Structure 1
Amino acid sequence: MSKGKDLAKTLMETKKVFVVSKTFCPFCVKAMRVLDKYSIPAENIEILQIENRPDMDEIQDFMKSVTGGRSVPRVFIGGKCIGGGDETQTLDKQGKLKPMLEAVGAL
């Protein structure tokens, strides 16, 4: 496994909340606004901004192999991909996101 894949795989497995993101992406901003509402402690969340990384394509290709999509954001809770910005917002509005975060000890 190469460096970008290794990094993404490790973060997926070790962080309670992990997001693959790009700073200029409106869907990434949407997901981050939702997650910010919960004041997740820094040790429980990792945001991997990939737009300036030389291994950006490698990470996105890895995301496609793991989640079926290579677009960002890719939001993981407890190592499970819940989707992107729209899905994160929908889970929040349905009252399902907070219990998911609590179940993995992120809050």
Structure 2
Amino acid sequence: MAKLKAVDCSWTVLVLLLFTVLKPVHLADQPSAAVSSRMGNYPSSPSGSSNRASASFVQEVVSHNCIVIFSKTTCPYCRLAKNVFNEIGTPYKVIELDQHEEGKQLQDTLGEMTGARTVPRVFVNGTCIGGGSEAKELHQRGKLLPLIQQCAPCCEGSGMDDSSGAQPASYNL
């Protein structure tokens, strides 16, 4: 009987660990000062103020736009994410990291904030939903539109410029 309890306990710990790892990241829960100076094997900028500035930029853009896609112009998964929102006719804000002056630092910061450094990083209503494949899957399962419909009023119509030099496909919801 003691063996059964140990197995049940291990299973519970595993489930809790998986839930913690897989839960969506909401930037309101991430203090900008908590961004560390390193992420995995990718060294970030040596300046802590640069990390804070990048984190503040990401939080500002995400909090003022219902849908934000941090992208690279040559990435097929980034095109996939943009196509999902184009298909449903939902405008979005795009930041092209390969055309942004601080693109590498922003990508490092996104990795630290969301747990993944890959692009795209798609945010809906302040929450990172993942990348292009996850956006497509949520749409196919009928779960993306309800997330978009919950967008806070503060996110509507801000019209912020992406400062990357590139024109975003569209702006805010």
Same fold per superposition (TM over 0.5): yes
Verify the 8 A CA contact 1:4 1:59 in the aligned structure 2.
yes
What's the secondary structure of 1:47's corresponding residue? Answer: strand
Q: Given the alignment, which residue of 129, 145, 158 partners 1:98?
A: 145
Structure whose alpha-carbon radius of gyration is higher: 2
| 1:59-85 Cα shifts (integer Å, max 9, x gaps) | 011101110011100000011000001
SS of corresponding position for 2:90 = coil
The amino acid that maps onto 1:38 is I
The one-letter amino acid of 1:71's match is T
- TM-score in terms of structure 1 length: 0.87
Query: Residue 39 in 1 paired to residue 89 in 2?
Result: yes
Of 10, 14, 20 in structure 1, the residue corresponding to residue 70 of structure 2 is 20
Q: Can you give the 5+ residue segments of structure 1 that lack an aligned partner in the other structure?
A: none
Identify unmatched segments of 5+ residues in structure 2: 1-48, 157-172
What is the deviation of 1:5? 3.4
C-alpha root-mean-square deviation of aligned residues, in Å?
1.7
Counterpart in 2 of 1:66?
A: 113
Cα distance in 2 for partners of 1:98, 1:54 equals 33
Structure of higher RCO (CA pairs closer than 8 Å, 6+ residues apart) = 1
Is contact 1:4–1:56 with CA below 8 Å preserved after alignment?
no
Q: Percent identity?
A: 32
What is the aligned length?
Answer: 104
Using structure 2 for the length normalisation, give the TM-score.
0.56
1:23-75 Cα deviation digits (max 9, x unpaired): 1100000000001122224xxx3100110223111101110111001110000
